[in-house]
Amino acid sequence: MSTEDTFVRFKEVQKSYDGETLVVKNLNLDIERGEFVTMLGPSGSGKTTCLMMLAGFEPATHGEIYLGDRPINAVPPHKRGIGMVFQNYALFPHMTVNENLAFPLEVRKLSKSEIATRTKRALDMVQLGAFGDRRPAQLSGGQQQRVAVARALVFDPDLVLMDEPLGALDKQLREQMQYEIKHIHESLGVTVVYVTHDQSEALTMSNRIAVFDDGVIQQLAPPSDLYERPENAFVAQFIGENNRLMGSVEAIDGKECQVKIDNGEVIRALKVNVDGVGQRATLSLRPERVEVNPEPGKFPNVFDAKVEELIYLGDHIRTRASVCGHDDFIVKIPNASHHASLNEGDTVKFGWSMEDCRALDVSGIH
Amino acid sequence: MAANNATSVEPLLTADGTPLKTSLQRSLRRSKLRATALVLPPLLFLIGLFVLPIGNLLTRSTDDTLINHQLPLTFAMLGQWDRQELPDESLFEAIFLDLTSLNKYLIKDNFATAVDPDDPAWKIQIPKKGPYRDAMIEIAPHWKDAKTWLLIYEIAITAAEATGTEREIKHQQKRAQFKICSMLTPLTNATCSKLYKVLNEWDGVSEPDEALFEALYKDLASANKYLLGKSSTRMNYEKPGFKSLIKKSGRKLKKVNEPPYKEAMIKADKRWGDIGFWHALLAMQKPQTSGYYLNAVDRKWDENREVVMQPEERQVYVMLWWRTFLVSLIVTVGCLLLAYPVAHLLATLPLKYSNLLMICVLMPFWTSLLVRIVAWMIMLQQEGVVNDTLVMLGLPDEHRLPMMYNFTGTIIVMIQILLPFMILPIYSVMKTIPPSYMKAAQNLGAPPSLAFLRVYMPQTLPGIGAGVILVFIVAIGYYITPELVGGKDGRLIGNMVAYHMQKSLNWGLAAAMGSILLAGILILYWIYDKIVGIDNMKLG
C-alpha cells in the first residue's frame, strides 16, 4: 500500500543479535508523513529495536528501511536528520540548556543569530524560556523531559523518534506531558514514531498504534479500532481490560458464530478470527459492555451471575462475578443513580450483545 | 492563626516541657559521640604516623640550633665584625674558646638569648689533667651545691633500681645515660656513661667531690667532641673545607694556652686567615637558617648577605629540578595518551572481555616493582630483546639504541609503572557515562569524532584530572626506578633526597628538598582547583 504520502517504510526487516533468534521478524510498516505512530508492546517484543534501526544505531540484519524514497540502511546516524528523545533524556550534563539546544545547530554550522533565535523559539515552545542558563541537573524531571523534546525538534527534523520518554515521570506529570507532546505534534505537523509499553499513553496520543509481540506486529490500527475491534486475543488482552471466555466453535452463521463455553453454555459472538467449526476460540468481552439485569429480549446473551467481590473506584464500581463457570468475570458498573446497587453474594443476570463479544484465536494467549 | 503566631515567637517545647532544641541535642549527643569514637583511631593514626613525622622532618629543613650550641660566643661577637677585613683578636679568642673549652656547658643560658661575652667564666681554664673541681666551680658556682647534682642523680638511681630481665635493665641504664647527657648538653644521642657510674656510688647528700667533677668533665669533653663533629659537618655545607679545618685545628689548638689566639690559629692552619670562612659563619648565625633551601636551588649567601648562585661546578640541583619536572610532565602526558583508549575499552567492552583486560591492567600491581624494572632492563639494554629484534630487522649492529641507564629508560619504565594510576580513575568515570550520550550526539547530527570531542571527552575530565594529578604527584617524588634504570642522566630530585637521607646524612638539605616538593605539589593542586575544581575530581 505504497502511497505518495508514505514517509517511513520498513520493508521485510529482520533483526537478530546472536544469529540464532530473531528479535524482529519480517517487519513491514508504512508510516505516513505527519503521522503519530506508536509502537506498543511488552518488553522484549522488538519495538525498541525497530526504533534503534530507524535511528541508525542498530543495523538491520535483513530488509531495507526507507526514509522518503531513500533507503537509509547505509546512512550513518548523524546524517539521517532524525530527532530523537531518549528514555533518560540524554541531556549533556556539562552543557547548559541553551548549549544543549544549540548543539545540533552548531554541528550544522548555522549562524550565531540563527542559533539564538531557534534555541529561544524551541525553549518557548516547551514553556522553559527562563531556564536557558541552567544545567540539566538543576531541572526537575518534567523540565528535563521538555528540554529533551525541544532539543529533538530544534533543528526542524521531519521525523522524531521517542523511546519511552515519559517512563521516569510520575503519573500526573506523565498525563500532562502526553497532551503537550500531542499538541506539539499537531501544531508542527512533524512525523513521530513513539515507543512505549504504556497503553493509555499510546491511546491518548497516537494516530495509529502498532502492537508488537514476539517480534511481529500483531495489529496496526487507530486507537479506537484497536480497542473496539481487536483482531486477535493478544491485542484484546493487551489493550484495555478484557473478559476472556474459552470454548469451541459450534456453528458459524455469516458474521456470527456460536461458541460453546467449557461449562456447556452457548454464547453468540461476532466471528472475527476463528478458523472453523470445532476449533478452539477465545471470546473477548469488554467489562463496560455488560449490562446488569437487562430488559428481557434486549440481548441474545443473558446469563446468571453471582457477585463475588465489589471494589469501589469512585467513578465506577468494579464487580467480580462468577459467570459461565469463570469466577474472574469483571463488570464495570458506572456510579450513577439509575444503576442497581449490588451486594456481594447477590445473584443477578448479566447480558451483552452479540457484536460486543468477539470470537478470537487462542494462539496469542500467554 | 493566633496559636500559630504564638509558637513562632516562644521557643518550641516537647510534650514534657523541655525546650525542643535541648531535647534534640540530647538525642543527637549519642550519635555524635559514636561518630567521634569511630573517627578517632584513624585520626590519631594519621596524626601520629603522618603529620608528626613529616612535620618533624620539615622543621629540620630550617633548624640550625646545633651550630648555635657549639659556637655561642663566636656568634655573639660576630655582629660586631665589619665583614670587610679579617676579624680581630677578640673574635679569634671567642672561636678558640668555643672550639676548645667546655665552659659553655657550665655557664647557664649560654646559648639562649643571654650570651654575655664579658662573663669572666669564659676565660677560666680547666686544667686538662685535673684537678677539675675548683676550676669548674669557679665557672659555675652552683655545681658546688649537692642540689644541682640531685636532678641527674635521680635519673641514675632510678635506672639502677630498675628490675626485669638483664636485657631490660641494660636498656634502662643506656636510656639513663642518654637522658643525663641531654640534660647537660643539647645532644640527645650522646651517652654520659662516666657520670652514670659515679652518681651511683654517690650518696646524694654529701658535698660533691673530685670524682664527680672528673666524670662531669670527661663526659662533657666527649659530648663536646661529638657536637664538634656534627657542627663541623654543618659548617662544611656552608663552605667546603670547613670540616677539615676544624679537625686539624682541634689537634693543634690543644697546645695553645696563651693569647694572642689570632696568630696561633693562623699558624695552626692558614685557612683561619681566609676571610671566606668567616663569611660562612655569618650564614649560620641564626638558629633558623634558609641555607638548606638556598642550597637546594643552587644558591648561597655571599659576603654581603646577598643570595647568589653557587659556583658553576657545584650547581646540580636546579638542573635536577627541571629534569624532574620534565620527566613528570612527559610521564603524565605519556600515561594519559596510553591510558585513555584502554580505559575507554575497559568501560565499553562486554563484561567477559573487560574483566580480562582489567586483570591485565592490574597485573603490574600484583607484580613486584623490582621484578618489573628488571624485566625492563632485559628488554631495553644494549644487548636486550628490543635491540636484538631491531638488529635482526636490519639495524646496523653498531647503532644499537641506548634505551637503558639514561633519560629514555627512566621515561619508558616510569610510564609503564604509573599507567594503572591513570587508567583506573579515568575508567571509573567513563563507566558512569551512559552510551546514550554518544548516541544522542550523533542523532543530533554530530559525526562520531565530533561527538566524542564535544560530548564524551568533557564528561571524562574529572577522571583525567584525577589521573593527571595522581601520576604527576607520584612521578615527581619517584626515586627507585630512576635509581635503577636512570643511569647518570636519568636521576631525579627524589634520588638526591634519598642520597642525602641515607648517604651524606645531610637531613637538613633532604628536608628542604622534600619541603620544596611538597610546596610544589600543593601549588599544582591549587592551580588545578582554580582551573578544574577539586570537587570535579573523581579518584575512584
Q: For chain B, which residues make up each domain, given as ranges?
A: 2-60, 67-283, 323-536
Q: What b/e readout covers A27-52, taking b as 16+ CB neighbours within 10 angstroms?
A: bebbbebbbbbbbbbeeebbbbbbbb
Query: Which of A107, A153, A155, A159 should one mutate to test binding to chain B, selecting the residue with the greatest count of B CBs within 10 A?
Result: A107
- Cβ pair B446:A107 closer than 8 A: yes
Decide: A164 and A158 in contact? Cβ < 8 Å: no
Residues of B in contact with A84 (CB under 8 A): 440, 443
Distance from CA of B430 to the nearest CA of A (A): 14
ipTM above 0.85 for this complex: no
- Listed residue (A157, A158, A155) closest to A115, CA to CA: A155
- CB burial readout B432-448, b (16+ within 10 A) else e: ebeebbbbbbbbbbbee
A94 at interface of B, judged by CB pairs closer than 8 A: yes
Q: What is the CA radius of gyration of chain A?
A: 24
Which positions in chain A touch B447 (Cβ < 8 Å)?
76, 78
Q: Rounded to a whole number, what is the distance in Å from the CA of A151 to chain B's nearest CA?
A: 8
Cis before A136? omega within 30 = no
Residue of A nearest to B454 (CA): A103
- Phi–psi pair at A32, nearest 5 degrees: -85, 160
- A167 in B contact zone (CB under 8 Å): no
Tell whether A66 lies on the interface with B, counting CB pairs under 8 A. no
What is the count of residue pairs from A and B with beta carbons less than 8 Å apart?
64
DSSP string, A252-285: EETTEEEEEETTS-EEEEEESS--STT-EEEEEE
CB contact under 8 A, A88 and B445: no
Question: CB of A76 within 8 Å of any CB in chain B?
Answer: yes
Q: Which residues contact B82 (CB under 8 A, 6 or more apart)?
A: none
Is B443 close to A92, i.e. CB distance below 8 A? no
d(C-alpha A57, C-alpha B79), whole Å: 83
Q: Which residues of B290-302 are buried (b: 16+ CB within 10 A; e: fewer)?
A: bbbbbbbbbbbbe
A63: left (phi over 0), alpha (psi -120 to 50) or beta: left
User: How far apart, in whole angstroms, are the C-alpha atoms of residue B320 and residue B314?
Assistant: 13
Measured in degrees and rounded to the nearest 5, phi and psi for residue B518 equal: -60, -45
Q: What is the pLDDT of residue B539?
A: 60
Which residues on chain B place their C-beta less than 8 Å from a C-beta of chain A?
434, 436-437, 439-448, 450-451, 454-455, 458-459, 461
Contact A107 B450 (CB under 8 A): yes
DSSP assignment of A293-311: SPPTTS-SEEEEEEEEEEE
Alpha carbons B351 and B374: distance in angstroms, whole number: 33
Q: How far is CA B480 from the centre of its chain?
A: 18
Interface contact flag, B442 A78, Cβ < 8 Å: yes
Residue contact A78–B447, C-beta within 8 A? yes
Q: Contacts of residue B450 in chain A, CB cutoff 8 Å?
A: 107
Residue A3 has pLDDT above 60, yes or no: no
Q: Could you give the CA distance from residue B14 to residue B24 in angstroms, rounded to a whole number?
A: 10
The residue to which cell 515507543 is assigned: A195
Torsion over CA: B76, B80, B86, B91 (sign): negative
Digit-coded pLDDT (tens) for A346-364: 888 899 998 889 988 886 5
| Grid cell of A208 as nine digits | 495509529
The C-alpha of A83 sits at a distance from chain B's nearest C-alpha, in angstroms, of 7
**Which residues, in sequence order, are bridge partners of residue B13?**
B19
Phi-psi region of B459 (alpha: psi -120 to 50; beta: other; left: phi over 0): alpha
Within a 13 Å sphere around the CA of A225, how many CA atoms are in the beta-carbon half?
Answer: 11
What is the Cβ-side half-sphere exposure of residue A200, based on CA atoms within 13 angstroms? 11
Q: State the sign of the Cα–Cα–Cα–Cα dihedral A240, A244, A249, A253.
A: negative
- Among all residues of chain A, which has the CA nearest to that of B439? A57
* Nearest-angstrom CA–CA distance, B200 and B156: 6
All domains of chain A, ordered by start, with CATH?
6-233 (3.40.50.300), 234-360 (2.40.50.100)
Decide if A23 contacts A215 (C-beta within 8 A).
yes
pLDDT of residue A277: 84
Omega before B42 within 30 of 0, i.e. cis? no
Chain A 41-60, residues with CB within 8 Å of chain B CB atoms = 55-57
Contact flag A77-B442 (C-beta cutoff 8 Å): yes
Single out the residue of A320, A317, A346, A343 nearest to residue A332, CA to CA: A317
Contact call for A87 and B451, based on CB within 8 A = no
Return the exposure string of A315-350: e unless at least 16 CB atoms fall within 10 Å of the residue's CB, then b.
ebbebbbebbebeebbbbbeeeeeeeebeeeeebeb
Scanning chain A, the segments in alpha helix (DSSP H) are 47-55, 97-107, 112-125, 141-153, 171-188, 199-205, 223-228, 233-238
- B444 and A81 within 8 Å at the Cβ level: the answer is no
What residues in A contact B459, CB-CB < 8 Å? 92-94
Distance (Å, whole) CA B524 – CA B538: 17
Rg (CA), chain B: 34
Residues in chain B: 540
A81 chain-B contacts, CB cut-off 8 A = 445
| Amino acid identity, position B147 | K
**Residue B513's Cα: distance from chain center in Å?**
8
C-alpha cell at A97: 540548556
Which residues are CB-neighbours of B216 under 8 A, at least 6 positions away? B132, B136, B143, B184, B195
Q: Is the pLDDT of residue A340 over 70?
A: no
Site from A103, A119, A158 to mutate, B interface, most B CB atoms within 10 angstroms: A103
Any residues with CB less than 8 A from the CB of A259 and at least 6 apart, and which?
A: A245, A247, A248, A249, A250, A266, A267, A269, A281, A283, A359
Residue type, B80: Q
Chain B's closest residue to A102, CA to CA, is: B444
Put simply, the answer to whether A103 touches B437 (Cβ < 8 Å) is no
> In A, which residues are within 8 Å of B448 by CB distance?
76, 78
DSSP classification of residue B253? H
With CB atoms and an 8 Å threshold, state whether B434 touches A151.
Answer: no
The answer for B535, left when phi > 0, alpha when psi is -120 to 50, beta otherwise, is alpha
Cα separation, B43 vs A9, whole angstroms: 67
Question: Which residue is closest to A104 within chain B, CA to CA?
Answer: B444
Strand partners for A244: A284
State whether B445 and A104 contact (CB < 8 Å): yes
- Sequential pLDDT tens for chain B (540 residues): 444 444 456 677 777 778 888 888 888 998 999 999 999 999 999 999 989 988 988 888 888 888 888 888 888 888 888 888 888 888 898 888 888 888 888 887 665 557 788 888 888 888 888 788 888 888 888 888 888 888 889 888 888 888 888 888 888 889 999 998 888 888 888 888 888 888 888 888 888 888 889 999 999 888 888 888 888 988 888 888 899 998 888 888 877 777 788 888 888 888 888 888 888 888 888 888 888 898 889 888 877 778 888 888 888 899 999 999 999 999 999 999 999 999 999 999 999 999 999 999 888 888 898 999 999 999 888 888 999 999 999 888 888 888 888 888 899 999 999 999 999 999 999 999 998 999 999 999 999 999 999 999 999 988 998 899 999 999 998 888 898 888 888 889 999 999 999 998 888 999 999 999 999 999 988 888 887 777 766 665
What distance in Å separates the CA atoms of residue B22 and residue B29, rounded to the nearest whole number? 10
Of B434, B443, B454, Cβ closest to residue A77:
B443
Let me know the angle formed at the C-alpha of B134 by B130 and B135, rounded to the nearest 5 degrees: 75
Instruction: Let me know if A207 is exposed, middle or buried by CB neighbors in 10 A (0-12, 13-18, 19+).
Output: middle
Rounded to whole angstroms, the Cα distance separating B87 from A311 reads 113
Place of cell 637521607: B501
Cβ <8 Å between A82 and B459: no
How far B467 CA sits from the closest chain A CA (Å)? 20
Mean pLDDT of A323-334: 87
User: Residue A97 has what pLDDT?
Assistant: 95
The whole model's pTM is what? 0.78
Instruction: Please choose, from the candidates A35, A37, A63, A32, the residue with its C-alpha nearest in 3D space to the C-alpha of residue A51.
Output: A37
pLDDT of residue B341: 95
Nearest residue of A to residue B450, measured between CA atoms: A107
**B323-536: CATH topology:** MetI-like fold (1.10.3720)
Nearest CA in chain B to A90: B437
Q: What span, in angstroms and rounded, lies between the C-alpha atoms of A318 and A330? A: 7
Contacts of B453 in chain A (CB under 8 A): none
Please, which residues have CB within 8 angstroms of residue A247's CB and are 6 or more apart in sequence?
A259, A260, A261, A262, A267, A280, A281, A283
- Whether B443 sits inside 8 A of A103 (CB atoms) is no
Residue B394 Rama label (left phi>0; alpha psi -120 to 50; beta): left
Burial of B142 (0-12, 13-18, 19+ CB in 10 A): exposed
**Option in B439, B444, B448 nearest A107 (CB):** B444
Q: Kindly identify which residue of chain B lies nearest to residue A79, measuring between CA atoms.
A: B445
In angstroms, the separation between the Cα of residue B448 and the nearest Cα of chain A is: 8
A192 touching B, CB under 8 A?
no
**Interchain contact, A55 vs B440, CB within 8 Å:** no
Query: How far apart are the CA of A112 and the nearest CA of chain B, in angstroms?
Result: 17
Backbone φ and ψ for B166, nearest 5 degrees, come out as -60, -40
- Test B442 with A76 for CB contact under 8 angstroms: yes
Average pLDDT over residues A90-111: 94
